[in-house]
Chains A and B, each alone.
Chain A
Amino acid sequence: MLRFAVQRALSALFTLWSAATLAFIALRLAPGDAIVLQLALSGATESQIAARRAALGLDLPLGVQYLNMLSRLLRGDLGVSLVNGRAVTALIGEQLEATLALAIGALLVGTLLGLALGIGAALGGHWLQQLAQALIALLLATPVYWLGILAIYVFSVWLGWLPSISRDNSLQALLLPCGVLGVALSGSIGQMAAAGLHEAKKAPFVQTARAKGLPVHLIVWRHMLSAYGGALISLIGLQSGFLISGALVTESLFTRRGIGQLLLNAVNGRDYPVVQGVVLLSALAYSLLSTLADILAAWRDPRLRRQGL
């Protein structure tokens, strides 16, 4: 088990290193010098640009720049914003809490609803199966902001229950954004849960339990979910990418402060260090979540320790 966990963590570290390298290469491959372009946009003179490049270490050889970047990353330094000169980590830190509150709430809603949809689609009666499958297909085809526009109309405009602008982390302000993002997330979780449970239905031990005449709910809860729960956990971990990008869009929809707002402003201002910082941070979040999910899954289900790597 420990060996699996260490192996999995090492491969996550390797992935992070490749993502950082990719970000470094992308900046150098981009047409024109991104830094010069950004400074020229804000009306800097030639000598100011040269001074800024030197200050950022951009006139050093590429190899040195690359090593500098890695060593800064290892120290948790993501560089400074080109627009306001503040540290990227500080900028992200200010917004992190708001985004985390949204993401955690949405994950909770999405997992519960997704599992319910998946169980319905794989194991329900004929009508329930049809209904759950149709709902999953519909959710997978509905972008989160379109769902959000409808939800705002129903709950804020029509019923007047919840605010359409989410200002803080109070329950009232979080309910609608978390609900919208969670419902959007439940489509893909439901799809994977249904596929997993469909496989589980064919397993010999489930057939045996059926032949013994166990009631369906006992087969589902005691046999199928305990045998396939591990795999389900790691599949939900894979959804963290969707969760992150969905959170950014949801924040923009509910004019909520958070990483999304920071990122969109940075893209508009072509502030590459901030964009790169958010991207690397979400790669870190993704690796962390999927690694934790895999380790948790392998702890629940020893069969998984041999696969995956």
Chain B
Amino acid sequence: MRRIGLPGAFLVCLALASLCAPLIAPYDPLAEVGQALQAPSARHWLGTDLIGRDVFSRILHGAARTLSVALIALCSTVLIGGALGLCAGFFGGALDWLLLSLSDALLALPSLLLALSVLTLAGNGSLQIALAAALSGLPAYSRIVRATARSVRTQPYIEAARALGAGELSVLWRHVLPNALPSSLSAGVIAMAWAILNAATLHFLGFGGDPSLPEWGAMLAEGRLVFRAAPWIAFAAGAALTLTLLAVNDLARRLAAQ
């Protein structure tokens, strides 16, 4: 617990709250349950939005969307980026060259633009946004895994394993992987932060299909329109986004410091 500290605890609580959102949210996030643009009160903790939906319930349900995007991004980054980076770093040669030039090309494209091109080609639904956002941290992550795998490759215990007659694949699986992946975990968490940020940005810009779905970026876009009359909508969504990103970034910092 001390390893992940306060930010980890916050993220765990957020995950629990979002899992239980249907049970603990006071209202249906999509239903009009009160008058429009009511200030925060005992009945509506964070007020109501443009058409009278409960902002607190929407924030809770929005957490589930944000965290699932983060999870999809983390899994796909670690699986794809990890596999590519490990093989490139361990085997070297043409594969390594290919990965380096591919990631160079991807790194030259701002991740938001990359995500927008994916949306142009694949259409703009929630799943496309999650996948497009998941691409954001992939090139940087695979580069870091590659570098770690390269440095692990020359360690004495790898040489020892080879001297004992272990095959290349088994060395990769049993020795390089367990030593390279944990030390690049921090980079994976940073990729997650990028995915959260980019997914929220895409929703803010109006992509992602149905704008009535509870999503923090979309709520910020809505709150911006009525900021003068009802600043609590944008404040709630913005604060939720900032707190989550702070927690994720701090988690990455703590993991890197180990």
8 Å CB contact of A15 from B101, B122, B124, B200: B101
Chain A residues closer than 8 Å to B86, beta-carbon distance? none
Stretch at the interface among B75-83, B171-179, B223-231: B223-231
- Tell me whether A278 and B113 are in contact (CB under 8 A): yes
CB distance from B228 to the nearest CB of A (A): 6
A50 interfacial contact with B, CB 8 Å: no
Contacts of B107 in A (CB 8 A): 241
> Which residues of B have CB within 8 Å of A16?
108
A244 and B122 contact, CB distance less than 8 A: no
Cβ-neighbour of A26 out of B110, B121, B234 (below 8 A)? B121
A14 to B100, CA, bound (A): 11
Q: Does B210 contact A (CB under 8 A)?
A: no
Tally of contact residues, B, Cβ under 8 A: 43
**In chain A, residues 229-285, which have Cβ atoms closer than 8 Å to a Cβ of chain B?**
241-242, 244-245, 248-249, 252-253, 263-264, 266-267, 270-272, 275-276, 278-279, 282-283
Is A267 touching B105 in the complex (CB atoms < 8 A)? no
Question: Are B201 and A279 interface neighbours, CB within 8 A?
Answer: no
Q: Is B8 interfacial (CB 8 A cutoff)?
A: no
* Stretch in A17-25, A92-100, A114-122, A298-306 with 4+ CB within 8 Å of B: A17-25
Asked if B104 and A18 make an inter-chain contact with CB atoms under 8 angstroms apart, the answer reads yes
Mask of A1-23 contacts with B, CB within 8 angstroms, 1/0: 00000000001001110110111
In the bound complex, do residue B223 and residue A19 qualify as a contact, i.e. CB atoms below 8 Å apart? no
Known contacts A18-B104, A142-B242, A149-B220; is-contact A31 B109 (Cβ 8 Å) = no
Interchain CB contact under 8 A, A272 and B120: yes
Interface status of A138 (Cβ within 8 A of chain B)? yes
Q: Which residue of A lies closest to B200 (CB)?
A: A143
Q: Chain A residue with minimal CB distance to B115?
A: A245
Complex interface bits, B227-252 against A, C-beta within 8 A gives 1, otherwise 0: 11001001000100111011001100
Which B residues touch A26, using CB under 8 A?
117, 121
With beta carbons under 8 angstroms apart, the residue of A19, A140, A264 that contacts B109 is: A19
Min Cβ gap A281→B in Å is 10
Contact with A along B6-17 (1 / 0, CB 8 A): 000000000000
Q: Decide if B122 touches A18 in the complex (CB within 8 Å).
A: no
Partner of A143, one of B102, B122, B201: B201
Taking a contact as CB atoms under 8 Å apart, the answer to whether A252 and B224 are in contact is no
Q: Please indicate which of the listed interface residues B109, B224, B227 has the most CB atoms of chain A within 10 Å of its own CB.
A: B109
B250 touches A22 (CB 8 A): no
**B102-A18 in contact (CB<8A):** yes
Taking the closest CB of chain A, its distance from the CB of B129, in whole angstroms, is 12
- Residues in chain B near residue A14, CB distance under 8 A: 101, 104
**Cβ–Cβ contact A286 & B110, under 8 A:** yes
- B interface, CB within 8 angstroms of A: 101-102, 104-114, 116-117, 119-122, 124, 197, 200-201, 204-207, 217, 220, 223-224, 227-228, 231, 234, 238, 241-243, 245-246, 249-250
- A residues within 8 Å of B by Cβ? 11, 14-16, 18-19, 21-23, 26-27, 30-31, 34, 137-138, 140-143, 145-146, 149-150, 152-153, 157, 241-242, 244-245, 248-249, 252-253, 263-264, 266-267, 270-272, 275-276, 278-279, 282-283, 286-287
Extra contacts besides A137-B250, A266-B120 (20): CB < 8 Å: A16-B108, A19-B109, A22-B102, A26-B121, A27-B121, A34-B121, A137-B249, A142-B242, A142-B245, A143-B217, A143-B245, A145-B220, A149-B220, A149-B224, A241-B107, A248-B113, A275-B117, A279-B113, A282-B109, A283-B109
- In the assembled complex, 21 residue pairs joining A and B whose CB atoms fall closer than 8 Å, in A order, are A14-B104, A15-B105, A19-B105, A19-B108, A22-B106, A26-B117, A30-B122, A143-B245, A149-B223, A150-B238, A157-B227, A242-B110, A245-B201, A249-B205, A263-B116, A267-B116, A267-B207, A275-B116, A279-B117, A282-B113, A286-B109
